[in-house]
Amino acid sequence: NAGVTQTPKFRVLKTGQSMTLLCAQDMNHEYMYWYRQDPGMGLRLIHYSVGEGTTAKGEVPDGYNVSRLKKQNFLLGLESAAPSQTSVYFCASSYYIGLAGSNEQFFGPGTRLTVL
């Protein structure tokens, strides 16, 4: 059981370049999430998905797009990277238990992205 994995672990982009971050989970979770964490701050939710084929906006969605074509994968795309998107990106997944707020989230190890 690998849990939640993220690819790549590190990446350096130039302003205006595009890239896709991949998150994969092998726990058959319904919910998946993308967060960003800036230095000295807590995590902020970018986008999330409550099931295959669905996506929804979180707190800070601007400049990012996501897709959930397969239940086990959640992709985060940056179409035109900006220095303000330099951050550590975490993916997470959780079961749907039915009672909102009672589901534990499992996090990946993170992707450190630098935009020059």
Partner 1 sequence: DAKTTQPNSMESNEEEPVHLPCNHSTISGTDYIHWYRQLPSQGPEYVIHGLTSNVNNRMASLAIAEDRKSSTLILHRATLRDAAVYYCISPQGGKLIFGQGTELSVKP
Angle formed at CA 113 by CA 74 and CA 10, multiple of 5 degrees? 85
Residue 20 and residue 82: Cα distance in Å, rounded? Answer: 14
| Interaction between residue 58 and partner 1 (CB under 8 A) | yes
SS3 96: coil
Helix/strand/coil percentages in the chain, nearest 5: 5, 45, 50
| Interaction between residue 94 and partner 1 (CB under 8 A) | yes
Asked if residue 110 lies in contact with residue 89, where contact means CB atoms within 8 angstroms, the answer is yes
Q: Nearest distance from residue 113's CB to partner 1, in Å?
A: 15
Nearer to partner 1, 4 or 13 (CB): 4
Q: How many residues bind partner 1 (CB under 8 A)?
A: 30
Tokens of 104: 């534990």
Q: Nearest distance from residue 50's CB to partner 1, in Å?
A: 8
Figure out which of the listed residues 39, 62, 69, 104 binds partner 1, where binding follows CB under 8 A. Answer: 104
Binding-site string for partner 1 from residue 15 to residue 54, where x marks contact by CB under 8 A and - marks none: ----------------x-x-x----xxxxxx--x-x----
Tokens of 55: 């996506």
Task: Give the residues lining the site for partner 1 (CB under 8 A).
Answer: 4, 31, 33, 35, 40-45, 48, 50, 58-59, 90, 92, 94, 96, 99-110
